[in-house]
Structure 1
Amino acid sequence: MITLNLMNSTEFKEYLNSAIKSYADNNVQSGNWSEQESFSKATEQYAQLLPDGEKTANNKLFTIRSDGQEVGMIWLALKPNNKGFIYDIKIREDYRGRGFGKQAMEDIEKVGREFGIKSIGLHVFANNQIARSLYEKLGYKETSIVMAKEI
């Protein structure tokens, strides 16, 4: 059993520091960005998406807890036309493989319904097979695919 609690400012600062690094690293691994530019690009994108931090309008950043322990986080953005978008979900390494990610994804759908959301989208890097498998099991379908080739 998990709970989703809105992040406080301390939790948000901790999240933001790790999220920027992780997003930069994922974009380098995926071949989207060079290592030299990755940190500044990731920082810029987070600043655009969350200009007011955890209090940014139409963004709900939750700490995922199990028995009072922080096990991860999930970020749901409320978009026009009754749509939502999960910008991030992370389960701490020492809590992975216990179903917390699946449960958080199911719980965020309930939260979304409370806000009138009719569909939720997300992005997953192609090399993240574990996440892709989870999303497919939860009923997510590919809606577009970006392909690249090194030449």
Structure 2
Amino acid sequence: MIKLVLMNSDEYQDYISSAIKGYAEEKVLSGNWSQEESISKAEEEYARLLPKGEKTENNFLYSIVKDDKSVGVIWLARLSDEKGYIYDINLFEKYRGYGYGKEAMKEIEKVGQELGMKKIGLHVFGHNKVARGLYDKLGYQTTNVLMEKEI
């Protein structure tokens, strides 16, 4: 069984550096950004969303913990009184495939309910078929699909 533990400032610093790099890579993979601009654009995005880091109001950044080891991270934001948004869920490479992501999603839904949320949204890159499959199994419904073709 996993548990969610709010990040401290050291954990946040580790998280933010890897998150920026990972987000930049995803945006390049999906064709949204060029390699050259990706890191600076990702830094801008995180600075906008988390101006006070892990202490940014209405943002809840957790370490996903299994047997006293951090196995990943999950970030829930309150968008309104009734709506939350999962900006990030990331299991560290060696902990993938054990069901921890599914457990973390169920736990973050409980957190959302405790905060009074009635809905939680998220974004998944189209090329991330594993995550899309997980979200489908957990009952998340597709609300928008953006498609693109090189011509």
TM over 0.5: yes
Q: Which 5+ residue runs of structure 1 have no aligned equivalent?
A: none
- 1:41 Cα deviation after fit: 0.4
**Whole-angstrom CA distance in 2 between matches of 1:37 and 1:92:** 25
Runs of 4+ residues over 6 Å off in structure 1: none
Aligned AA (1:150): E
- Measured in 2, the distance between the counterparts of 1:32 and 1:149 equals 12
Q: Residues of 2 paired with 1:85 and 1:144: CA distance?
A: 15
User: Could you tell me how far apart the structure 1 residues matched to 2:79 and 2:42 are?
Assistant: 21
Which residues in structure 2 correspond to 1:1-150 (within 5 Å)?
A: 1-150=1-150
Residue 80 of structure 2 aligns with an amino acid whose one-letter code is P
- Which digits, 9 at most, give the CA deviation of each residue in 1:6-39, with x for residues without a partner? 0000000000000000000000010000111111
Alpha-carbon offset, residue 80 of structure 1: 1.1
Distance 1:81 1:110 in 2: 15
Per-residue CA distance 1:70-118 (angstroms, 9 max, x = gap):
1001000011140000000011111111110000000000000000000
Q: Please, which runs of 5 or more residues in structure 2 have no aligned partner? A: none
RMSD: 0.6
Cα deviation code 1:50-86 (max 9, x no counterpart) = 0000000000000010010110010000111400000
Amino acid at match of 2:34: S
Q: Distance in 2 between matches of 1:91 and 1:81?
A: 28
Letter in 2 for 1:47: A
| Structure 1 residue 148: Cα displacement | 1.2
Question: 2:20 touches 2:43 (CA, 8 Å); kept in 1?
Answer: yes
* Alignment partners' CA distance in 1, 2:150 and 2:38: 19
Corresponding pairs, count: 151
Structure 2 counterpart of 1:92, one-letter code = F
* Separation (CA, whole Å) in 2 of partners of 1:49 and 1:63: 18
Aligned equivalents of 2:13, 2:46: Cα separation in 1: 12
